A and B are shown apart, each in its own frame.
Chain A
Amino acid sequence: MIGIIDYGMGNLHSVSKALERLQFPYLISGKPDELIECDAFILPGVGAFPDAMKNLEGTGLRTFLDQHVYQLKPLLGICLGMQLLFERSTEYGETEGLAYLKGNVIHFSEKQHHAHSSLKIPHMGWNRLAFLNEKASTGGIEEGYVYFVHSYVVEAPDELMAAKADYGCDVPAIVEKDLVFGMQFHPEKSGQVGTALLKRFCELAEKGVE
């Protein structure tokens, strides 16, 4: 059973519909005592970083993630959910994240090379993934296009990268370390490639990550 974490930030519906299409059982909940039964977790998220952290902390979900998920069960953060896995973000001031992965979240304009400053923000639309390193999350999947919508971008060490996209700078698209996974794009809205990546995570969650 995949637990979709409901902390008031998000399009839970589209993630759950994608799991239905893949026929993986799921539970949507914001209650730690219900979520504790699940074998793996998806942290979705749309909106602003500080609000998201405030909600996670205010609902006791942060403590739950720290104590019962991190390093114990697979966790996939999607879009803002991926950014929350890192140490801090500069969105509306500076906010501490969950810090399961090393790195920071900064605005696109701080990262893009000057020559590309005319690129539109948000980075919205279909962009091509390039897979990097050999990672569990991308194993057996063909590179292709996925759907992004975001204005902030992660800066993280190379060894975390499973896939990147190019938008005036390298955009970390899939990150992975042990049981912690992140996808900056929306796999649930990314056609065949997105569906394959989501399926891969669910399978890893089922079988257990090596």
Chain B
Amino acid sequence: MLTKRIIPCLDVKEGRVVKGTQFLSLRDAGDPVELARYYDEQGADELVFLDISASHEGRKTMLDVVEQVAASISIPFTVGGGINTNENIRNILQAGADKVSLNTAALIRPEFIEEAARFFGSQCIVVAIDAKYDSITDTWKVYTHGGRKETDWTAEAWAKEAVQLGAGELLVTSMDKDGEKSGFDVALLQKLTNCVNVPIIASGGAGEAIHFVDVFQEAAVDAALAASIFHYKETTIRAVKRVLKEKGVHVR
């Protein structure tokens, strides 16, 4: 059987990991390559790099980072952030990434998913969905531009549409849970796993090992992503996997 995947996420700005990380053992806690190697050794199943560079220079630097990461680790990794053309995707994949994650550009022009999937194959096209609960309509609404702009899409409708267009995987972030450390948004994830048949990565809300157990046991997600709890060593990937094993969740 497939194992459930644990994925640390690294925010990279102008070639440096930001949002702070706490790795006293590393020479340079802001070095994406060193962190990637550390997480690979810790047993991470995959990595996600989110490029939050605002400048063109920063984006070019990201390609160097991708190349160095590809040379240093032996697990798959995804790169997201500001990708809006097939040319961008080609550059990132050629630099050695395994998948790209599309977000705002796909919502602005949904055909982009189709073009990307047809050209590179669905297996490397991840669509990232940032969703927030709307109590008036009792649905989750999809947001773009790093959560700053609301769209007309419900998470359910957009997930179906993205998969229909060729997304091979969905990375679903709950904006309500993000940073709260109170557990993943099980209700949202249940809803989405019930309406599409591609792998789903749960994101937003991880605070401790038991939250990973809960999300895997209660929603049919395939992977769970977290950032700060790993970066700040509140827990380690090894520790999370130990708890998952104890609770009967299949991990590597």
Whether the pair A126, B3 counts as a contact (CB closer than 8 A) is yes
A120, B197: Cβ atoms under 8 Å? yes
The answer to whether A191 and B222 touch across the interface, beta carbons within 8 angstroms, is no
Do residues B121 and A126 form an inter-chain contact, with CB atoms below 8 A? no
- B70 and A46 contacting across the interface, CB-CB below 8 Å: no
Chain B residues with CB below 8 A from A11, complex form: 93, 96, 98
Contacts of A207 in B (CB 8 A): none
Q: Would you call B18 an interface residue if the criterion is a C-beta within 8 Å of the partner chain's C-beta atoms?
A: no
Contact mask for chain B residues 91-118; partner A; CB cutoff 8 A; 1 contact, 0 none: 0011110100000000000000000000
Inter-chain contact B121/A186, CB cutoff 8 Å: no
Within 8 A of A (CB), among B215-237: 222-223
Most A-side CB within 10 Å, residue of B75, B120, B124, B222: B75
Q: How far is the CB of A54 from chain B (nearest CB, A)?
A: 15
Interface segment, one of A16-24, A63-71, A93-101, A176-184: A16-24
List the B residue with the shortest CB-CB distance to A46. B121
B74 touches A126 (CB 8 A): no
- What residues of chain A lie closer than 8 Å to B15, measured between beta carbons? none
The answer on a CB contact under 8 Å between B2 and A123 is yes
Complexed CA–CA distance, A96 and B61 (Å): 43
Chain B residues with CB below 8 A from A18, complex form: 74
Residues of A contacting B1 with CB < 8 Å?
127-128, 166-167
Q: Mark B1-35, 1 if CB is under 8 A from A, else 0.
A: 11101000000000000000000000000000000
The reply to whether B74 and A191 form a contact with Cβ atoms under 8 Å apart is yes
CB atoms of A195 and B74 under 8 A apart: yes
A180-210 near B? 1/0 per residue, CB < 8 Å = 0000001011111011000000000000000
Total A residues in contact with B, Cβ cutoff 8 Å = 35
Residues of B within 8 A of A122 (CB): 122-123, 168, 198-199
For A190, the chain B residues whose CB sits under 8 A away are 74-75
B40, CB-defined interface residue at 8 Å: yes
Interface residues of B in 234-252 (CB under 8 A from A): 252
Alpha-carbon distance between A166 and B122 when the two chains are bound, in angstroms: 22
A34 CB, nearest partner CB in chain B, Å? 20
Which A residues are CB-close (under 8 A) to B123?
Answer: 46, 122, 124, 149-151
Chain A residue nearest to B198 in the complex (CB)? A120
Residues of B within 8 Å of A36, CB to CB, are none
By a CB distance below 8 angstroms, the chain A residues around B185 are: none
- B201-223 CB mask vs A (1 if < 8 Å, else 0) is 00000000000000000000011
Given known contacts A123-B2, A191-B40, is B95 in contact with A13 (CB within 8 Å)? yes
A-to-B contact residues, CB < 8 Å = 11, 13-14, 17-18, 20-21, 46-48, 118, 120-128, 145, 147, 149-151, 166-167, 186, 188-192, 194-195
Q: A120-B199, A125-B3 are in contact. List 15 more A-B contacts (CB 8 A).
A: A11-B96, A13-B94, A124-B123, A124-B168, A125-B2, A125-B45, A125-B199, A126-B2, A128-B3, A145-B252, A147-B76, A149-B76, A188-B74, A189-B76, A190-B74
